[in-house]
Amino acid sequence: MTPKQATSGSASSSVRALARGLDILRYVNRVGEARAGEIAKALDLPRPTVYRLLETLEELGYVAFSATSNLVRVTRFAAALGDGYALTSEMTQAAGPIFADYAKRVVWPLDLTIYNNAAMVIQETTHGRSPLSIDRGMTGYRLPVLRTSAGRAYIAFCPENERDLILDHLRRLNDPADQPFLEGRLLSHLIEETRARGIAVRDSGEFRQETASIALPIRSGETVLGCVSLIWIQSAMSTRKALEDYAEPLAEVATRIAESLAD
């Protein structure tokens, strides 16, 4: 076999694997959830091939296995292949002017984040403009879900089936820093407390010792589109003071962003 023939054979194999992976992704998206054996039968593929491709899709964040069953489902990250990116772009464009409108009233930095593949990703921020920020260049920064107010707001207010998928994904990733927050009683208390308060809080040094934050979801019906957060230097203000002074304007920001998407 010549080098050219070997290269051609390798390329053909890669294209075939890609095509099969996309077929699997489309099938799971269409049926909602499935087992590897069901996928293999429906697509007439060898079961070992299906397992291998599902593992690759999971590593890339497009599917997630249930922690309590053999079912696999697509993640929100897969939605970015469709109109998810357009919605994120629209939300980001709306957030910039709204953040600017609140610059004098809310001097502490604001973040707009969306959930993406086991993290809250900053899409828009005033860190670069706020005189009280100690961070710069935060756009695109990936924040942990369970240890930030944005992530807590997201999992507390998103639909239960989506929350289960996210938590299953985090358990499978097995990040040691997340383990205490995945413990049953603490996790339930965290979600229940956030829902009862109506706003998520991070103020115990679980992510960054020097800062604290509060966050609210941006909602469309039962769907959480993203979150808006306010971050402050912990030594400069108590959580109680932050909630008293900034919960209301933060809620206004979240509402205005949501309303801009409905126009």
Q: Along the 263 residues of the chain, how does pLDDT read in single tens digits?
A: 554 444 455 667 888 899 999 999 888 877 777 899 999 999 999 999 999 999 999 888 888 886 556 788 877 666 556 555 566 778 888 898 999 999 889 999 999 999 988 999 998 899 878 888 777 767 888 999 999 999 999 999 999 989 999 999 999 999 999 999 999 899 999 999 999 999 999 999 898 899 999 999 999 888 999 999 999 999 999 999 999 999 999 999 999 999 998 76
User: What pLDDT does 92 receive?
Assistant: 84
User: What pLDDT does 64 receive?
Assistant: 82
Q: Does the predicted model carry a pTM greater than 0.75?
A: no
Q: And the tokens for 200?
A: 């998520």
As a whole number of angstroms, the distance between CA 15 and CA 20 comes to: 9
Is there a contact between 4 and 11 (Cβ–Cβ < 8 Å)? no
**Which domains occur in the chain, in start order?**
3-74 (1.10.10.10), 84-262 (3.30.450.40)
What distances in angstroms separate CA 117 from CA 41, 51, 63, 139, 173, one per listed residue?
A: 28, 20, 10, 16, 11
Q: And the tokens for 232?
A: 């402050």
> Torsion angle of alpha carbons 111, 112, 116, 120, nearest 10°?
30
